[in-house]
Structure 1
Amino acid sequence: MNADLFLADLEDKPARLRALAAAVTGSWAATDTDRPILLFGMGSSHYANGVAAARLRAGGRPAVAELASTDLLPRVPPGALVVAVSASGGSAETLDAVRTSRAQFARSQGARTQETPATFVALTNRADGELASLCDVTVPMLAGDERGGVACRSFQHTLAVLLSLPGAGLDPATVTRAAEATEDLLARRDAWLPRVSELLLGPDGTHVVAPARRLSSAQQSALMLREGPRLPAVGCETGDWSHVDVYLTKTTDYRLLLLAGSRWEPELLRWTAERASTVVAVGADTAGAAYTLRYRHDDIDDVRLLTETLVAELVAAEAWRRRL
């Protein structure tokens, strides 16, 4: 892993997103997607899978996201679409989940040869990787080689490709707008990054919240702070925060990155104001925030989804480089 190359990977996001925008509508053209969907992945892949599955269910499509490491793998029904996500194509747990699920399906199908077989899809950056060899179809992420060793671009690309599934509701033009939003944040970082870093990186770590429909943004943002500079960070859903995280505002120097857009924010902001916690808001003007960061197209929720993790990623990159 390399801090300077991680920063270079982030700076390459706009160009990679523009290339993805030109291709994303054709991602599933060779695959019959009108079937129940099961998503496997680990880490940031699972974060993206969780949001995609929720979006598909909200659109009336049966879809489930499971950690590939679970000992309670769902039984794959006939005709299902199993999407295994791994940027490297080599995540051990994801490979094992595919092998196990294929074997279980073969045993359960037995002599019932009239049943429609399940289709296994590898969503990966490595068409030549082991995951692709285990699956029937490969769908490319088009995130490119992440030379810093951190899955940053592949996270956004996984989201965009999964949300291009029929029923998930992604407007393909959103990917281009996300490229423009990302470019805007990068171009203005000298103006906002030092202050945001100062506010968020406290002695007791950093907390990140996002609405349930964008929970992956909070999870990925916290992961970026843990993975690169090895700083303590936790992601949480905005409404659930009042049930599981609020307690720390009483006893710690609480620093919160608020990824805006939840209808449950007023309760959170009441507690943070009463206890003088530090809040940095991203994506909407927020009363009581010590700093509010806006960017191009942040009034579009799916642009937020594909863009907002860049804030924590850049904070992580600079903190990582300073620690070297």
Structure 2
Amino acid sequence: MSQISLAEALERQPDALAAAVRTLGEQLADPSAWPAPRRPLFVAMGASHAALAACVHRLRTAGIWASRTGCGPVGDADLVVGVSQSGRSAETVATLREAPAERRLAVVNVAPSPLAELAGRVLSCGSVADSKVSTSGFSVTLAALGMLSDVWAGGRPDPVWPTLPGLLAVDLPPVAEQVAGCVAVDVVGGGASLTAAEEGALMLREACRLPATPYETRQYLHGPMESAGPRTAHVIIGGEREAELAAQLAGAGHVTVYVGPCQSAVPRVAVPAIPAVARAILENAVLQRLVAAVAGVRGVPVGEFRFSVGDTKVDSAAAEAV
């Protein structure tokens, strides 16, 4: 996978997503080759772990008891799905190795890779070029998970997927300076929108060096929102309950942005009411643009990490996670 700048990745993302949807559609064309599991366990780290929230929500809604983890025992899962954009995440490779070969599946952007080598079956996004703070790679990975979930739950990918690249344009309200001036950000999402909340918070930390915390909406209502103040920004993602929450926070004088399909007097980015996993890609595209703008205001060189961590990636399927 080649690495490009954040600006390049955002500019090229519609074409990258369109190409990946075509590639994934070809791989998923025969539903009989992708039988639905009863209790799938998805394993991933970092951004890929955030992508799993929408997928798990989609499958549980359809009656498939999916779950997700970062690493650890695979338990009684009848299918263990390792998800890694690079295919090199050490913990994901180590966890997938614990599952019997016939119960392994890898979802990757890059193949060949250690994770793809280890898995019995592989769903590949086609090695889409990505920025160091993942953008396009994240979007195509989420598309792979969404299309696979559609096949398991309904026999074929939803017709929305080929239309998605044309919906990626973002009209961001002028909030970057306000968010950049805060000392922390709460990113809140309900249901499948938890994916955008988790990935958005991760990007704010990685790209903007701004402390950010993701919350599921109902959990946020049970106490965490009480720390809201004038120096905390709030990005609220989802439907009617999230729009209500955004209005409540903004009414108290706090920096607030609402992302979703509902009307709101709060600074808002409209996202169409399309199927949940596809909508999560659009929600996250909003966060990507917000993060790029906030990093610019804060003068942070996106992709220049301050800490080098050498034990999170492996070069072979045989390598052990530390």
Whether 2:106 is the aligned partner of 1:122: answer yes
Does the CA contact (< 8 Å) of 2:261 and 2:270 recur in 1?
A: yes
Does the CA contact (< 8 Å) of 2:239 and 2:261 recur in 1?
A: yes
Larger Rg computed on CA atoms:
1
Whether 2:225 is the aligned partner of 1:246: answer yes
* Counterpart position of 2:20: 20
**Which whole-Å deviations, capped at 9, do the CAs of 1:207-229 have from their partners, x for residues lacking one?**
22222222101111111111112
- What count of residue pairs does the alignment treat as equivalent? 290
Distance 1:49 1:27, change over 3 A: farther
Quick one: which amino acid aligns to residue 119 of structure 1? Answer: R
Distance 1:319 1:265, change over 3 A: closer
* Counterpart position of 2:197: 218
**Which whole-Å deviations, capped at 9, do the CAs of 1:228-267 have from their partners, x for residues lacking one?**
1211112212222211421112x4423111223143543x
Does the CA contact (< 8 Å) of 2:236 and 2:246 recur in 1?
A: no
* Counterpart position of 1:175: 161
Q: Quote the Cα distance in structure 2 between the aligned partners of 1:294 and 1:273.
A: 17
Distance 1:143 1:286, change over 3 A: farther
Task: Give the one of 34, 37, 40 matched to 2:36.
Answer: 34
**Residue 151 (structure 1) shift:** 2.3
Whether 2:293 is the aligned partner of 1:293: answer no
**Which whole-Å deviations, capped at 9, do the CAs of 1:106-164 have from their partners, x for residues lacking one?**
xxxxxxxxxxx733122112212111111112210235121x21222222222221222
Distance 1:313 1:269, change over 3 A: closer
* Counterpart position of 2:260: 283
Distance 1:311 1:196, change over 3 A: farther
**Which whole-Å deviations, capped at 9, do the CAs of 1:73-111 have from their partners, x for residues lacking one?**
13245xx22210111111011111112x23xx4xxxxxx
**Residue 201 (structure 1) shift:** 2.5
Quick one: which amino acid aligns to residue 255 of structure 1? Answer: A
Q: Quote the Cα distance in structure 2 between the aligned partners of 1:143 and 1:199.
A: 36
Q: Quote the Cα distance in structure 2 between the aligned partners of 1:207 and 1:18.
A: 31
Q: Quote the Cα distance in structure 2 between the aligned partners of 1:265 and 1:32.
A: 37
Structural RMSD (CA): 2.6
Quick one: which amino acid aligns to residue 33 of structure 1? Answer: P
Structure 2: give runs of 5+ residues left out of the alignment: 302-322
Distance 1:282 1:62, change over 3 A: closer
Distance 1:287 1:264, change over 3 A: closer
Distance 1:237 1:210, change over 3 A: same
Structure 1: give runs of 5+ residues left out of the alignment: 106-116
1:1-324 mapped onto 2 (5 Å cutoff): 5-28=5-28, 29=30, 31-36=33-38, 37-68=40-71, 70=72, 73-76=73-76, 80-99=78-97, 101-102=98-99, 105=100, 118-142=102-126, 144-146=128-130, 148-165=131-148, 166-168=151-153, 171-182=157-168, 184-185=169-170, 188=171, 192=172, 195-249=174-228, 251-263=229-241, 265-266=243-244, 268-269=245-246, 271-289=248-266, 291-294=267-270, 298-302=272-276, 303-321=278-296, 322-324=299-301
Q: Quote the Cα distance in structure 2 between the aligned partners of 1:283 and 1:265.
A: 8
Q: Quote the Cα distance in structure 1 between the aligned partners of 2:207 and 2:247.
A: 32
Quick one: which amino acid aligns to residue 163 of structure 2? Answer: R
Q: Quote the Cα distance in structure 2 between the aligned partners of 1:137 and 1:149.
A: 27
Q: Percent identity?
A: 26
Quick one: which amino acid aligns to residue 117 of structure 2? Answer: S
SS of the residue aligned with 2:86?
A: coil
**Residue 301 (structure 1) shift:** 4.3
Q: Quote the Cα distance in structure 2 between the aligned partners of 1:129 and 1:4.
A: 20
